[in-house]
């Protein structure tokens, strides 16, 4: 069963526009969720994790247990935000990270 | 500075010819992972090592093996590559397993082609 769903394969916005990358999860326990990002020709790297309640590069993500969502948001997109974004779920006791299929964000000038 | 290093960046092998992908890390992390990522798909965990303990995912084919001779190095061996094994193979590390150690550090990946 698919545990992490990113419904949008591609997302294109203009610079300065708000952006929201959607992530929904399916997990019976208490979830730990992450966003990873991969810029062009760079390695996959952690962007933020929900337990830290942090804002990285202007991005935030709130865990909504009622909607089983962990959407990534930024109020004003920048061209350098163009990248592949992966939502990931950490599965409990075996500490296995399951990734979504990713959303390719393009921020146009 | 590269902390998780994968060589080579591109690897071409022939159908059925064994191939080994390598990964090294300078972080002294306890855990090393191998992920397979096919085109337009999510990275899929194949197995991981916690120190010397090998943990195979239930759906990882027997064709895939791994070795970790020391803390720094981990190898992915594909005994008889098929066309369906063409993918990007990602190595990752984490300091440990547990709360607060979930951050993965990825290598740049090795793109495997099978002819």
Give the tens place of pLDDT for each residue, A44-96.
Answer: 999 998 877 788 899 999 899 899 999 999 999 999 999 999 999 987 666 78
How big is chain A, counted in residues? 109
| Integer angstrom CA distances of residue B31 from A76, A93, B88 | 37, 15, 20
The whole-number pLDDT of residue A2 equals 58
> Using CA atoms, how far apart are residues A109 and B14, in angstroms rounded to an integer?
44
Q: Which residue of A has its CA nearest to B92?
A: A44
Domain boundaries, chain A: 4-108
> Using CA atoms, how far apart are residues B46 and B42, in angstroms rounded to an integer?
12
Q: Is B7 on the interface with A (CB under 8 A)?
A: no
> Using CA atoms, how far apart are residues A70 and A27, in angstroms rounded to an integer?
13
Q: From the CA of A12, how many Å to the nearest CA of chain B?
A: 17
B36 within a domain of the structure (yes/no):
yes
Contacting residues of A for B4, CB less than 8 Å apart: 43
Higher pLDDT, A27 or A74: A74
**Which range is least confidently modeled, A6-15, A48-57, B38-47, B58-67?**
A48-57
DSSP secondary structure letter of residue B115: -
Residues B106, B110, B113: CA angle, nearest 5 degrees: 150
Asked if pLDDT for residue B32 goes beyond 90, the answer is yes
Contacting residues of A for B103, CB less than 8 Å apart: 46, 49
Q: What percent of chain A has pLDDT over 90?
A: 71
B114 within a domain of the structure (yes/no):
no
**How high does pLDDT run on average in chain A?**
91
Residue A84, helix vs strand vs coil: strand
Residues B19, B56, B77: CA angle, nearest 5 degrees: 10
Tell me whether residues A101 and B41 touch, CB distance under 8 A.
yes
Alpha helices in B27-109 (DSSP H): none
Write out the two tokens for B46. 């194949």
Pairing of strands A103-108, B19-25: unpaired
Architecture of domain A4-108: Sandwich (2.60)
Structural domain range at position B8 = 4-109
Task: Evaluate whether B20 touches B73 at the Cβ level (below 8 Å).
Answer: no
Tell me whether residues B102 and A96 touch, CB distance under 8 A.
no
Task: Evaluate whether A41 touches A17 at the Cβ level (below 8 Å).
Answer: no
Asked if pLDDT for residue A1 goes beyond 80, the answer is no
Q: How many domains does chain B have?
A: 1
**How high does pLDDT run on average in chain B?**
93
The whole-number pLDDT of residue B45 equals 93
Asked if pLDDT for residue B2 goes beyond 80, the answer is no
Any residues with CB less than 8 A from the CB of A105 and at least 6 apart, and which?
A11, A12, A13, A19, A21, A77, A81, A82, A83, A84, A85
The whole-number pLDDT of residue A52 equals 78
DSSP letters of A32-67? EEEEEEE-TTS--EEEEEGGGT--BTTBEE--BTTT
Asked if pLDDT for residue B31 goes beyond 90, the answer is yes
Q: What percent of chain B has pLDDT over 70?
A: 97
Q: What is the pLDDT of residues B89-103, one digit of tens each?
A: 999 999 988 767 778
Pairing of strands A4-5, B87-94: unpaired
User: Can you give the CATH number for the domain in which B68 is found?
Assistant: 2.60.40.10
């Amino acid at each position: 069963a698919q545990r992490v769903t990113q419904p949008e394969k591609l997302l294109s916005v203009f610079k300065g526009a708000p952006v929201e990358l959607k992530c929904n999860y399916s997990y019976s326990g208490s979830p730990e969720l992450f966003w990873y990002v991969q810029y062009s020709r760079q390695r996959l790297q952690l962007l933020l994790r929900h337990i830290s309640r942090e804002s990285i590069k202007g991005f935030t993500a709130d865990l909504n247990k009622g909607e089983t969502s962990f959407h990534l948001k930024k109020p004003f997109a920048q061209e350098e935000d163009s990248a592949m974004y992966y939502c990931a779920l950490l599965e409990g006791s075996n500490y296995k990270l399951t990734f979504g299929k990713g959303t390719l964000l393009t921020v146009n000038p | 500075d590269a902390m998780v290093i994968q060589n080579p960046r591109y690897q071409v092998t022939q159908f059925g010819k064994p191939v080994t992908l390598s990964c090294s890390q300078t972080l002294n992390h306890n855990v090393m992972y191998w992920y397979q990522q096919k085109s337009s798909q999510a990275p899929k965990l194949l197995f991981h090592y916690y120190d010397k303990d090998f943990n195979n995912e239930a759906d990882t084919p027997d064709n895939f093996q791994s070795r970790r001779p020391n803390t720094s190095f981990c190898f992915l061996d594909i005994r008889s590559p098929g066309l369906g094994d063409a993918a990007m193979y990602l190595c990752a590390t984490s300091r440990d397993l547990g709360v607060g150690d979930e951050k993965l550090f990825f290598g740049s990946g090795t793109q495997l082609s099978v002819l």
